[in-house]
Amino acid sequence: MPHEFLPVNQNDMKDRGWDQVDFILVSGDAYVDHPSFGAAIIGRWLEASGFRVGMIAQPDWTKAESFSRLGSPRLAFLVTAGNMDSMVNHYSVAKKRRKTDAFSPGGMMGNRPDRAATVYARKIKKQYPEVPVILGGIEASLRRMAHYDYWEDRLKPSILMDTKADLLVYGMGERSILEIAEALDSGLPVSSLTFIRGTVFYSRDLESIDNPMILPAWKTLQNSKRQVGSSFLTQMHHTDPLSGEVLAEPYEAGFIVQMPPANPLTTDEMDQVYRLPFARKEHPIYKEEGSVPAFSEVQFSLISNRGCFGGCHFCALTFHQGRQIQSRSHESILEEAQTLTAESDFKGYIHDVGGPTANFRQAACKKQITYGSCAHRQCMAPKPCPNLEVTHQDYVHLLRKLRKLPGIKKVFIRSGIRYDYLMADPDPSFFEDLCRHHVSGQLKVAPEHTNSHVLDLMGKPKIQVFDDFRERYRRFNEKEKRNQYLVPYLISSHPGSDLNAAIDLALYLKKLGHQPEQVQDFYPTPGTLSTCMYYTELDPRNNQKIYVPKEQSDKLMQRALLQSGKKQHHGLIRKALRLAQREDLIGFHREALVPPEQIQKTAQQPPKRKASGSPFSKRKNNRKRRS
């Protein structure tokens, strides 16, 4: 009979009759034993394979005893910053300190350090120099090679060079970590683990590495932004487990070596992961501090898939999870849904059935299954690939089964929906079921911009696809007499977006009668093509120079343009319009974005009423992004 939680202290170990654990997981998140938390998955996965695993969640990094509460592990420390990059967790795109941490009890900020993976690894290495330290999680995964750091505004080497950790696991990690565990358990030293897919390590030479592809050296990258773009593009082209090769990044005294990605989990293996004996709740040690906000967001949600072939350039999913879709079986998902209905605080509502992209449940095409994802071609943009196989049948059947379960009142979809994929499907079943059964008043979709040049740099389809979807959504809801809205996600100040592009988007929003409450500035995080463009000011696909808004004044004007209905932004908007020589948009005529300055000071214009029947939400648009 499994214990409810992994051990968090010596008393828990004694209860199990253990004097030592095999692995200690050190996480920057509070300990929530739920399949939406990566540390919990890895811990339970190793436990199910016969290993003894302990958990140190959110250690006080200023005190050595915080890392020794479980003693020294027999095989290794496994270190992760948590489900979210600690720098994104701590700072807004304006580099202002956030006030809350959704992955900490009570939402309290300050329970983890900046660059948590690096700080934890260094502390452990100093305290236990002979014990292997293995990095994992999204923070380490996206920093596995040289990368641009937005917060320090400079290029940084692989996180392995900063931490001196012995090994790094990138991607989701189940296959890699089990192979590592079995190798260490067999007596192999960690320095000999140079053969495991989905890992990165430091090597003094390449004698034991079979035919690696040599990337530009760290010294070269520091002196050439064009080489930074070239290196990133090569890495991006080798994120598929079927076609990816061994990559080696030279440093002064050795190499950072990246093995090809781990093979994706089969459906049976995915089911095994999500059938592990999770407690499905927060550890009781947090009872006095308060609940973990991130847990309440996912407590009654179901993970259906992994991976994404959408290819948005500002998203790190391709770099982390890859383009291969991995899906759970209907039986596994239905079984978990029935588990939810038995929980005392379940009210009958499943909040989400999805993943990185909710309506991707199968491979993009047969070629991807056999040969891997195309290195020089995207599946969805600028338009769907001719080989793309578009179908929602499996997802539709799954959702219909969930709706019929006893105790289920409503099944919502809150993960991202690729509306361009939906529009490419000749079968209207999913669209109709989505609108009838799975929208909780508002549907979130992501056109991101309107300007064709910016959309190309984003890896997004032309705005006409969104217009067609918006009109189809409006007509359906009008016919069905449903009061449902669209919430379009928009990004300002993305590479390629100048004031004229922002003005185009502002005019588009004015024409639609939509006033976004919040707009997301582009956030340059490691592991994305857009971040590479931000740093290099080049499109690495063709080495053409692109405009990148970096000055705060420029960003403020672009964001203000998208919220032209707010009077506090009018001064900035007039400044932007004059700089762009678009004074014709200042006035009271139909196309004007803002009134003249003198008139505004002397007369209060009556607020414009929102046109009835608008397909857009009047509610606050709180946008949350995954790094």
Bridge partners, residue 167, by sequence = 134
> Does the pLDDT of residue 15 top 50, yes or no?
yes
User: Using CA atoms, how far apart are residues 192 and 186, in angstroms rounded to an integer?
Assistant: 12
Q: Which residues neighbour 209 within 8 Å (Cβ) at sequence distance 6 or greater?
A: 194, 203, 246, 248, 257
Tens of pLDDT, residue by residue over 365-398, are: 999 999 999 988 899 999 999 999 999 999 999 9
User: Using CA atoms, how far apart are residues 203 and 208, in angstroms rounded to an integer?
Assistant: 9
Instruction: Count CB atoms within 10 A of the CB of residue 307.
Output: 26
Tens of pLDDT, residue by residue over 521-580, are: 999 999 999 999 999 999 999 999 999 999 999 999 999 999 998 999 999 999 999 999
Q: What is the largest CA-CA distance in the chain?
A: 81
Tens of pLDDT, residue by residue over 161-205, are: 999 999 999 999 999 999 999 999 999 999 999 999 999 999 999
User: Using CA atoms, how far apart are residues 300 and 281, in angstroms rounded to an integer?
Assistant: 11
Please give the pLDDT value at position 3.
63
3-state SS, residue 202: strand
Tens of pLDDT, residue by residue over 256-287, are: 999 999 999 999 999 999 999 999 999 999 99
Please give the pLDDT value at position 626.
39
Kindly tell me the burial class for residue 243, based on how many C-beta atoms sit within 10 Å of its own C-beta (0-12, 13-18, 19 or more): middle
Instruction: Count CB atoms within 10 A of the CB of residue 513.
Output: 16
β-pairing, 520-521 with 485-492?
parallel
Please give the pLDDT value at position 518.
77
Tens of pLDDT, residue by residue over 577-623, are: 999 999 999 999 999 999 998 755 555 555 555 444 455 554 444 44
Tens of pLDDT, residue by residue over 238-250, are: 999 999 999 999 9
Tens of pLDDT, residue by residue over 54-82, are: 999 999 999 999 999 999 999 999 999 99
> Does the pLDDT of residue 337 top 60, yes or no?
yes
Residues 486 and 616: beta-carbon distance below 8 Å: yes
Say what angle helices 570-579 and 499-512 make with each other, to 10 degrees.
130
Residues 307 and 332: beta-carbon distance below 8 Å: no
Q: How confident is the model at residue 147 (pLDDT cuts 50, 70, 90)?
A: very high
Picking from 626, 414, 618, the residue whose alpha carbon sits closest to that of residue 516 is 618
Distance (Å) of CA 407 to CA 252, 350, 411: 62, 10, 11
Tokens at 450, concatenated: 């309107």
3-class SS letters over 348-406 = CEECEEECCCCCCCCCCCHHHHHHCCCCCCCCCCCCCCCCCCCCCHHHHHHHHHHHCCC
Kindly list the domain boundaries of the chain, sorted by start residue.
Answer: 10-203, 474-627
Please give the pLDDT value at position 615.
53
Q: Tell which CATH architecture fits domain 10-203.
A: 3-Layer(aba) Sandwich (3.40)
Please give the pLDDT value at position 519.
84
pTM for this prediction: 0.93
